[in-house]
A and B are shown apart, each in its own frame.
Chain A
Amino acid sequence: DQQVKQNSPSLSVQEGRISILNCDYTNSMFDYFLWYKKYPAEGPTFLISISSIKDKNEDGRFTVFLNKSAKHLSLHIVPSQPGDSAVYFCAASGETDSWGKLQFGAGTQVVVTP
């Protein structure tokens, strides 16, 4: 049962524009959410996270928004750059997974075009 869903397998965006990646989850016990970025033949790298006590977290060009009532989070990248072309994974963990076991979405392939 997929508890974290990324319904858009791919996204194409022009350089300089905003990229918006979406993620939905079903488990209301999740209290911590993360985004990872993955280049081909490399492991995922941590990008940004948000705790369920917040609704927004910003780090440079990256902002994550959390809507707990809708069980939805999104990642905004602005402005998008060619180096942002990668697969982005949404992940979540809950109180009982405090040691860090994560549930991942299937990923969204982002392509930033010149």
Chain B
Amino acid sequence: GAGVSQSPSNKVTEKGKDVELRCDPISGHTALYWYRQSLGQGLEFLIYFQGNSAPDKSGLPSDRFSAERTGGSVSTLTIQRTQQEDSAVYLCASSAYRQGARGYTFGSGTRLTVV
């Protein structure tokens, strides 16, 4: 597609429920990143995928968080047993091979509210 697409744009869920957030990167971009922005905070790195390499999961805050990228394209971030502190805007970005941060294109994000 022309840009990075994220869905849903807004999600309200009850504490304890599982949620899935989707990211559809720019076609041909091999790198895909998930960040989140909590209220009053900067963007916090969560996980990154590069081609067929093992993902860098070093930013995932707990084992309730997981992500996968199927076929080197669409990615899903799953949060199990959501907690109120998971409320944030979850942003996905993609970039072309070896462009890294110089070529980030962000999606508009998913605003997650846990009540």
Q: Which residues of A contact B (CB under 8 A)?
A: 2, 4, 6, 9, 32, 34, 41-46, 49, 89, 91, 93, 97-107
Q: State whether A101 and B33 are in contact (beta carbons under 8 Å apart), knowing that A4-B42, A44-B43 are contacts in the complex.
A: yes
Contact yes or no, B91 A44, CB < 8 A: yes
Within 8 Å CB of A2, what residues of B? 42
Count contacts between A and B, CB distance < 8 Å. 69
Q: Chain B interface (Cβ within 8 Å of chain A)?
A: 4, 31, 33, 35, 40-45, 48, 50, 56, 59, 91, 93, 95, 99-109
A99 touches B48 (CB 8 A): yes
Given contacts A43-B108, A93-B100, contact A104 B48 (CB under 8 A): no
Q: Are B108 and A41 in contact (CB under 8 A)?
A: yes
Please report whether the interface of chain A is mostly helix, strand, loop or mixed according to DSSP.
loop
* In-complex Cβ contact of A99 among B35, B40, B50, B59 (8 A): B50
Looking at B43, B45, B56, B104, the one whose CB has the most chain A CB atoms below 10 A away is: B43
Of B40, B93, B103, B104, the residue contacting A106 (CB under 8 A) is: B40
Tell me the bound Cα distance from A32 to B59 in angstroms: 20
Q: Do B42 and A100 touch across chains, with their CB atoms under 8 A apart?
A: no
**Assuming A41-B108, A100-B103, what are 18 further A-B pairs, CB within 8 angstroms?**
A4-B42, A6-B42, A32-B101, A42-B108, A43-B105, A44-B43, A44-B91, A46-B102, A89-B43, A93-B100, A97-B100, A98-B100, A99-B48, A99-B100, A100-B99, A100-B100, A101-B48, A104-B44
Query: Using Cβ atoms and an 8 Å threshold, which residues of chain B touch A102?
Result: 43, 45, 101, 104
Closest B residue to A98 using CB positions: B100
Q: Are B45 and A93 in contact (CB under 8 A)?
A: no
Flag if B91 contacts A101 (CB, 8 Å). Answer: no
| Contacting residues, chain B, for A107 (C-beta < 8 A) | 42
The 4 closest A-B pairs by CB, nearest first: A100-B100, A43-B106, A104-B42, A100-B101
CA distance A44 to B41 in the complex (A): 14
